[in-house]
Structures are given as C-alpha cells and as structure tokens.
Structure 1
Amino acid sequence: MKTTVTAKLSQGVNLTPQLLQSIRLLQLTAPQLEMELREALERNPMLETEGDDEAGETDAIAEAGDDAALDAAAWDELPEPAFMSGLSAGGGSDDDATARIAAGESSDWRVRTLRELAADWTDADLAIASWWLDHCDDHGFLEVTHPELLTRATHALSLEPLEIESVRLRLLHGDWAGLAAGDARECLLAQLAARGIDDDAHALARRIVASHLDLLARHDHAALAKALGADADAVQAAIAVVLSLRPSAVEEPSAVEDTHIIPDVVVRHLGGGWRVALNGRSTPRVRIAAHCEQALAGTPGEHSALRGLLDEARWLVRGIAMRNDTLLRTAQVLVERQQAFLERGEEAIAPLTLREVADAIGMHESTVSRITSGKYIQTPRGTFELKRLFAVRLEGAAVSGSAVKAMVKRLIDAEPPHAPLADDVIAGMLARQGVRIARRTVAKYRDQLSIGPARARMRPPAAARAAC
C-alpha cells in the first residue's frame, strides 16, 4: 500500500459565540426578543433599561463599533437559515428566495389535499385527482352532475371512464371521507362507511341516509319509524349517528385567536415622502450600566466573573444594535420599492424578491429572510407582516400574483348580483388586460379571498334590489 499526502483547500464558517447570538437575535420576533431581554436583565447586573422611551420611534441606530461591523459581515456570509438547524439548504442559486420566508398552511383545501396525497399516489393518479378537485365547490361536492363531469373528464384527460371514476372513489373513501361526492347522500354514506361500525344504530343510519333523508329533514320521526320498521328508541339512536356526521367533507379551518400586534416598524407619509422608523415601544431598550463599567475599569486584573458578565452584556447590546440596523435598512428598501402599493393599494404591488432587497442593502438573502420573518410593519394601509411586501412575479406577466388577486376581487365586487362572473369569464377579462392566468388560478385566488363560486353568489333581481 502506498501512502500519499495531498493538500486540500476548503472554505468554512467559524461560528463564534458572539456570531451565534447575533444570528439568534436577528430571527427573534418582537415578543420573543422582549422575553429574551427581560431574562437578560434579571440574569446580568451589568445591564439596565433605558428610560427615554417617550419618543417611541427610532430613525437611526447608534454605531455599534468596529467589532459589530465585523460580526455583521461574518453573519451575512452564512449559508441559508436551514444551516443553523443542521438541515440541507436545498434549491439552486436561481430559486425564488421568497419561498424561503415562512408561510402558514395554504387556505385552499384542494392544495392541502393534493399535498397529503402526493406521499402515496402516483403522478398519473394525482393528475386525475386534481381534475376532480378542480370541479368541486368550496364544500367538496361536485359542481355539476356526476355523469356530466365523468363525460367531460373522459374527453379532457383522454382516459377510460373506469380509470377516472376509480380515482374519484378513492377520494370519496379516502382520509377526507365524502370528498368529490355527487350529493349530500353520497357524502354521508361515505362517512358512515369510513367508520367501519356495523351495529344496529349505524345500520339504521345507513338506511335513513340512503332512502329517507327527506323524512329526516322534516323531523318526522314517526314516519321514519314506520318506514324503517323500527321502534322510536332505535330511530333516535340512528338519527344521533347521522347528526354526528359532517355536512360536507371539507372541514372549516380552525379559527385563530385574535391577538393585538405591536408593529416593529412604523411608516408615515410626511412632507411629500415616506418616513420609516423603528417602533421603540415594541421591545425594551437596554444598555450597559455605566457605573458597573467604570468600577471594573479601575481593576483590570480582578473580578474575572464580573468581567465575563460585562463581555456578555456588550455582545447582547451590540447584537441588538445590529438587528435594529438591519431591520431598519430592510424596511426602508421595502417601502421604497412598494411606494405604489402604499399609495394606490393591492393592485399596484410590484414583484419583489428577497434577492432584490438583499442586493439593495448589500447583504445575503438568508439575512433578509431572517429579519423579515415574524416582523410587522404599520402603514396607512394597515399593519401586516413585512413578508407581505414581497410578491412573486406572475409567469408571463409584468405584475405580481398579489396584484392579480386584488384584480379578481375588484371584478367580483363590481359584478351584477343576478349575473355573477364565472371563473373562466374572470380569466378572460384579465387576459384582455394583458394578464393571462388559468381558470384554476382564479378559483384559487377566489378561495383565498373567502369568496364562493358564481352559483353561490347569484341572487335573483328582486333580492338584489331589496339588498340595495
């Protein structure tokens, strides 16, 4: 065996304790930072709160010193945020970095369903499932009759009806039992079948759903007992089973508790321009206690434990200054790029990515991603997360997806009540304005806006006049 020696050059990142602390502070939301600072004040006697909170807003950040500048340059060279959790960064250099900003679960139940099915279903079956879901209303029922849709699917997908119908049945009897049902009867029967219970109450419940829903709707329990040939107690037990079922396969998302939000950044229109300032009231302001620093300065070789606390306090104050400086600079660029949105509204929001903002402030995309996640900005148009000011460019158009969603809402708000616009009509109207999107995209935006389909919005002329 021959032993050889080779030289290898590699590049790495040296994560000092100061740098790790600065990165963690950068990612904290305002409530988390407030908790962090209060714990630090209790733990470290070298820190104290500043008493000049009357101003409330901060336009500029005090210089943090040369060491802070070096630390800022170091953290900006870090890889993606996933690096800190030990995960692979993923994605190529050309990926749209806006996707790396944390976002909530999709409000479109179709998207959530397909995402769950993707783990077990083949691509071919997913394509068929997507077609069925695309032709379901907001409650998961087929928009038109089942035979008509099956005929349409046969021509649209160029597949055998049996193969297409088998996918619908898998949806119907899947985890979301009753999905893609033709009517309430089929949806309820699918839910009963999913329970797999075969006692007398469930057997009677299946008979009620299959043949006697009209009697149940009229609350005619005596007629139900006669039609089923069962006594009153057995019928009551079966009715309780039916009432325990969901009226539709699609569950409403759980309501999120409404909480007050204290913005991190405040924007005002003053003197013909936009003024951006940090909200000093969102977190307590800390500094190094001057008397402690002066006391230790006279004894350079003593009190090593106290000197460790002093160094820790300096790192914390420096890290907060760096965080605030990065937040302010990022917010200023966002406001500058989205002035049209602030002045004219949603339809004027411009396409903007993390990369563009990062280039403008001379930092890495991962730094911008960290500083905008969970941070809120107060504007004349309301208070919302900073990430809302990012918008992905719509493919084939010079506008953003958020702007198109606002256009969809405007068209629906202006539609005649007795003749609401179908999704394909809205897509056609937008195409005439130079914005080409699919019908399915219109349906997705409409669902995100909590607006029902055309037939659910239709009101007869008499009712429309009465509402006016």
Structure 2
Amino acid sequence: MKQAARAQLAQSINLTPQLLQSIRLLQLTSPQLEQELLQALALNPMLEQDESDEAGETDIDAGECQSDDAALEAAAWDELPEPMHGSTNPPGGSGADDDGIARIADGSSSDPRVRLLQELALEWDPDALPLAQWWLDHCDDRGYLEQPVRELIAQGARALAVAKAEMRLSRLRLLHGPWPGMAAADASECLRAQLRAQRSHLRATDTDEVATFQLAERILDGHIALLAANEVGALAKTVRADVATVERAIGLIRALSPSAVEEPADDTGGYIIPDVVVRFIGGDWRVALNGRAAPRVRVAAHCERALADAPGDQSVLRGLLDEARWLVRGVAMRNETLLRTAQVLVERQRGFLERGEEAIAPLTLREVADTIAMHESTVSRITTGKYIQTPRGTFELKRLFAVRLEGAAVSGAAVKAMVKRLIDAEPPHAPLADDTIAGLLERRGVRIARRTVAKYRDQLSIGPARSRQRPAPTPFAG
C-alpha cells in the first residue's frame, strides 16, 4: 500500500471558555444579566461601571463589534443546537397550524419538572413519558436524584410494571436530554453530562479541543476533590498532564452549571424589565435598547495603564484583565445581536404594531436568521426571555413570531384573533357554532377546519356555543 502525505487547510471554531461565556451571556434575561454584571463588578477590580451617560435608551453602533474575531465568535454560536423549546416545528406536533412559539408565550410553570416534562412531550413517545415523570418526581430542585440509582431503578420497575432496563434507559435519556445533567446521581455526573453535550458538537479534526474535553471528563470522574481544592499542580501530576492543559480543562468545567435545572424564561420576580423599547416617531418605528435593564460596564482604564507598566510577575492581574475584556466584549456582542434581531422583528410585524393581533404576519426563526446572517439557534437564544416595550404593551419577543397557517397567507395567531373577534361580536341569544365561524372565515379567504376553530377557542378559554347562549331579551309590553 502506498502512503502519501497531503496538506489540507481548514477553518474550525473551538468552544473555548470565552466562547462558552459569550453563549451564556446571549441567553441571559435582563435580571440575570444585571446579577451577572453586579457580581463581576464586585469580584473583578479591572471592571468599573460606565456612568459617563445617563442610563436610558441606547442605540448600538452596527460596526461596534464587527471585528474579524467577533464575527468568528458570533458564528460559533451556531455550532450549538437550537434549544428544543424554541423550535417552530417540534417533533410530534399536532399539525401544521400548531404554533409552538405561542405555547411558550402563554407562560411556564414554576416547577422545573413540569416545564421539562412539557418539553419532552414534544419529542418523546407518549408511552415513555410516565417513566420520565417518575424519575423527575424523585429529583430535588437542582435536578439531582434523592435516592441511589439502583434503588430507584428497582422501585420504578415495580411501580410502573416495566423492565429495569427500560427504567435505566429512561434515566440516561433524561441525563443526556434537552437539560443535560438532569436526574444525575451527583454533581460529577451532572457536569460530565454537560461536558458530553458540548463535546458532541466538536469536529473530529479538533484533536486538541477533544483532548481537553476528555481531560476535563477524567478530572470530574475521579479527581473532583483536587478540583474543589484548586490544587492545580497536584491535579496536573495526578492526571499526568502539563499545568496549562489542566487549566484549560478546568476552565471548561468552571463554565458549566452546577444544576441542570433551567430557569423559566418568564421568571422575572413578578415584574418585567423590557430589553428593547419601540416608539413611533416621525412616521417610523424606532428601536432602541433599554439602558436601564442592566448596568453598563467597561474595563478600568487606569488599572489597564498601571498594569502595563507594572514590574515583576503580574499574571494574576493580567488574567483578571483578560476576563474583564472578555466580559465587556461578550455583553457588547449580545446587545448588538439583540438590537439587530429586534429591528427585523419590528420591521416584519409593523402591521401588528399598527393594527393589532389580526395583522400579525407569519414569521419564523429561519426568516429572521437569514436576514441578520445568523443561525436559527442564535435567534432563538436572543429572543427567549427578552421583552419588548411597545405602544401595544410589553411582551416577549417570541410573540412576534407566528407560524403560517397551512394553505393560507396569514398566521395562526392572526386567525385566533379573528375567531375571538367574531365570538365577541356574536348575539348572546344566538352564539356562533364552530362550523359557522369556519364558514365566515372562509368568506374572507381563510380556510380552516372546524376542529381548528375549536382548538383556538379552547386556547382562548372560550366555551362551545351551547355554553355561551343567553336568553333573548324580553320585548317591552306597553
């Protein structure tokens, strides 16, 4: 066999700790971002709060973050899969006119087990859901199992009358499912599941990154005590790796979450802080970021100058300076992406802002992503849990997406609004039946089945015609 060497040039994107931080910042809601920045200001002396301008509505310069490195990092967001809860076409959906985004906008349960079970219902077979529910019922608020795995497998097999192998497989599906680390036996297993989820998106050619992930898994598997004690030197000696490689692996681990439980997007402590503000000025809709949503931070210039001229080993302070720069850059990229996405949403849904629900146009994640030259997953992350303030009220950005009704040029949300208006205008003594409403809509060019009208009516919490009927008014007898 003849062997030959061939040179090949390829571009790849590595999921570095800095990139993982950027992805996490992209997903944070306003209260979460505020907490993150306040904590960073308290812990990192290289950061300071930017109070040069009064907090208010701010525009982001479109070229502010468009360096080559920033563009490359933004592109790397697309390496991660789109979150299941943001999919506009979930597996197992009930039909082409079933608006997955509308289900999110209706709010979510405060119980993480309920939220995850609702998410699993979109992709798991109905027969597998009781097993998932059983495991979730035996998890604490952080997603960890409350009893040893073997005991729970035996108990679950008896309670649900299934084989132990099915119970074991169900837990593994949860562990490596949409919330990686859920139903973990301990913190080590939870973190390893998260690492495995991230590692699965690496290319086979990224040998250095794959090796770093493998080392991080080894550290979590048998050396978590040394990791907790921050004994980097002893850890490097134990795993037989150089200190720099171990530090990179530790950076990957520290970027993970100790809990697999995802906070609900609408969990804002009883009030909503809009991320974006929209106003109609001079005959046009103006979009701006709400500067009051989170403190503005910057790298402290005096610290940066002092460190540049400082003698001796200043590696610790230089590390803090790098962290400060990464944080400031990540927040700027997040804000730019949020503003660009909001501008597209407002442009496409101008009819909704001016005329109301019946004018909301069909719009998908892919259409917005194509417009701003990003991936659907990036658009999904930046719109989840972010709120927009408009003259029609404050609501989640997700509400501006709408699934096109099959066979029509309108969205399901618009048709639902039409159904509500027809019912609101019906005579109390002669309410409209579902097939009658379907017929009235057909005259306007919207063809939907009677069962679709019934589904929208149920979503609006409106009863059938017979329950809405009221006695006709008695004519006045003079």
For 2:224, the equivalent position in structure 1 comes to: none
Kindly state the Cα deviation for residue 13 of structure 1 after the two structures are TM-superposed.
Answer: 3.9
Say whether 1:22 aligns with 2:33. no
Specify which of 284, 303, 306 is matched with residue 295 of structure 1. 306
Say whether 1:56 aligns with 2:63. no
Q: 1:397 to 1:365 in 2, by over 3 A?
A: same
For 2:146, the equivalent position in structure 1 comes to: none
- Post-superposition CA distance 1:164-214 (Å, at most 9, x none): xxxxxxxxxxxxxxxxxxxxxxxxxxxxxxxxxxxxxxxxxxxxxxxxxxx
Alignment check: 8 A CA contact 2:83 2:381 kept: no
Kindly state the Cα deviation for residue 53 of structure 1 after the two structures are TM-superposed.
Answer: 5.5
- Taking only the aligned residue pairs, the percentage that are identical comes to 69
Give, as a single letter, the amino acid of the residue that structure 2 aligns with 1:314. R
For 2:335, the equivalent position in structure 1 comes to: 324
Alignment check: 8 A CA contact 1:33 1:283 kept: yes
Q: 1:412 to 1:52 in 2, by over 3 A?
A: farther
For 2:358, the equivalent position in structure 1 comes to: 347
For 2:430, the equivalent position in structure 1 comes to: 419
For 1:78, the equivalent position in structure 2 comes to: 79
Equivalent-residue separation in structure 1 for 2:283 and 2:455 (angstroms):
38
Equivalent-residue separation in structure 2 for 1:97 and 1:441 (angstroms):
9
Alignment check: 8 A CA contact 1:19 1:74 kept: no
Kindly state the Cα deviation for residue 268 of structure 1 after the two structures are TM-superposed.
Answer: 0.2
For 2:245, the equivalent position in structure 1 comes to: none
For 1:120, the equivalent position in structure 2 comes to: 127
Q: 1:105 to 1:375 in 2, by over 3 A?
A: closer
Equivalent-residue separation in structure 1 for 2:34 and 2:269 (angstroms):
20
Give, as a single letter, the amino acid of the residue that structure 2 aligns with 1:15. L
Kindly state the Cα deviation for residue 67 of structure 1 after the two structures are TM-superposed.
Answer: 5.9
Kindly state the Cα deviation for residue 73 of structure 1 after the two structures are TM-superposed.
Answer: 3.9
Q: Which is further off, 420-429 or 6-15?
A: 6-15
Question: Unaligned stretches of 5+ in structure 2?
Answer: 109-117, 129-266
For 2:177, the equivalent position in structure 1 comes to: none
**CA RMSD between the two structures:** 3.6
Equivalent-residue separation in structure 1 for 2:18 and 2:303 (angstroms):
21
Equivalent-residue separation in structure 2 for 1:428 and 1:284 (angstroms):
54
Equivalent-residue separation in structure 2 for 1:72 and 1:312 (angstroms):
16
Equivalent-residue separation in structure 1 for 2:292 and 2:125 (angstroms):
46
Equivalent-residue separation in structure 1 for 2:385 and 2:474 (angstroms):
44
Equivalent-residue separation in structure 2 for 1:8 and 1:270 (angstroms):
58
Give, as a single letter, the amino acid of the residue that structure 2 aligns with 1:81. E
Give, as a single letter, the amino acid of the residue that structure 2 aligns with 1:48. E
Equivalent-residue separation in structure 1 for 2:470 and 2:102 (angstroms):
41
Give, as a single letter, the amino acid of the residue that structure 2 aligns with 1:39. Q
Kindly state the Cα deviation for residue 69 of structure 1 after the two structures are TM-superposed.
Answer: 2.2
Specify which of 320, 335, 339 is matched with residue 309 of structure 1. 320
Alignment check: 8 A CA contact 1:98 1:353 kept: no
Q: Which is further off, 290-299 or 68-77?
A: 68-77
Alignment check: 8 A CA contact 1:26 1:323 kept: yes
Equivalent-residue separation in structure 2 for 1:398 and 1:434 (angstroms):
9
> Secondary structure at 2:48's aligned position in 1?
strand
Q: 1:451 to 1:321 in 2, by over 3 A?
A: same
For 1:202, the equivalent position in structure 2 comes to: none
Matches within 5 A, 1:94-243: 99=100, 103=104, 119-120=126-127
Kindly state the Cα deviation for residue 50 of structure 1 after the two structures are TM-superposed.
Answer: 1.5
Count of equivalent residues? 316
Kindly state the Cα deviation for residue 15 of structure 1 after the two structures are TM-superposed.
Answer: 0.6
Q: 1:333 to 1:463 in 2, by over 3 A?
A: farther
Say whether 1:435 aligns with 2:436. no
For 2:157, the equivalent position in structure 1 comes to: none
Kindly state the Cα deviation for residue 328 of structure 1 after the two structures are TM-superposed.
Answer: 0.2
Give, as a single letter, the amino acid of the residue that structure 1 aligns with 2:22. S
Give, as a single letter, the amino acid of the residue that structure 1 aligns with 2:41. L
Kindly state the Cα deviation for residue 35 of structure 1 after the two structures are TM-superposed.
Answer: 1.0
> Secondary structure at 1:459's aligned position in 2?
coil
Q: 1:314 to 1:97 in 2, by over 3 A?
A: farther
- Relative to the length of structure 1, the TM-score reads 0.61
Equivalent-residue separation in structure 2 for 1:464 and 1:118 (angstroms):
57
Equivalent-residue separation in structure 2 for 1:28 and 1:257 (angstroms):
12
Kindly state the Cα deviation for residue 12 of structure 1 after the two structures are TM-superposed.
Answer: 5.7
Give, as a single letter, the amino acid of the residue that structure 1 aligns with 2:369. A
Specify which of 240, 264, 279 is matched with residue 275 of structure 2. 264
Kindly state the Cα deviation for residue 100 of structure 1 after the two structures are TM-superposed.
Answer: 7.9
For 2:466, the equivalent position in structure 1 comes to: 455
Kindly state the Cα deviation for residue 424 of structure 1 after the two structures are TM-superposed.
Answer: 1.2
> Secondary structure at 2:430's aligned position in 1?
coil
Alignment check: 8 A CA contact 1:68 1:319 kept: no
> Secondary structure at 1:399's aligned position in 2?
coil
- Relative to the length of structure 2, the TM-score reads 0.59
Equivalent-residue separation in structure 1 for 2:314 and 2:268 (angstroms):
49
Specify which of 372, 376, 383 is matched with residue 361 of structure 1. 372
- Post-superposition CA distance 1:231-282 (Å, at most 9, x none): xxxxxxxxxxxxxxxxxxxxxxxxx998211100000000010000000001
Equivalent-residue separation in structure 2 for 1:454 and 1:23 (angstroms):
49
Kindly state the Cα deviation for residue 433 of structure 1 after the two structures are TM-superposed.
Answer: 1.2
Equivalent-residue separation in structure 2 for 1:401 and 1:12 (angstroms):
40
Q: 1:96 to 1:418 in 2, by over 3 A?
A: closer
Say whether 1:38 aligns with 2:38. yes
Kindly state the Cα deviation for residue 302 of structure 1 after the two structures are TM-superposed.
Answer: 3.3
Give, as a single letter, the amino acid of the residue that structure 2 aligns with 1:349. I
Give, as a single letter, the amino acid of the residue that structure 1 aligns with 2:29. T
Kindly state the Cα deviation for residue 76 of structure 1 after the two structures are TM-superposed.
Answer: 4.2
Equivalent-residue separation in structure 2 for 1:273 and 1:33 (angstroms):
30
Q: Which is further off, 386-395 or 293-302?
A: 293-302
Which one has a bigger Cα radius of gyration?
Answer: 1
> Secondary structure at 1:462's aligned position in 2?
coil
Kindly state the Cα deviation for residue 446 of structure 1 after the two structures are TM-superposed.
Answer: 1.1
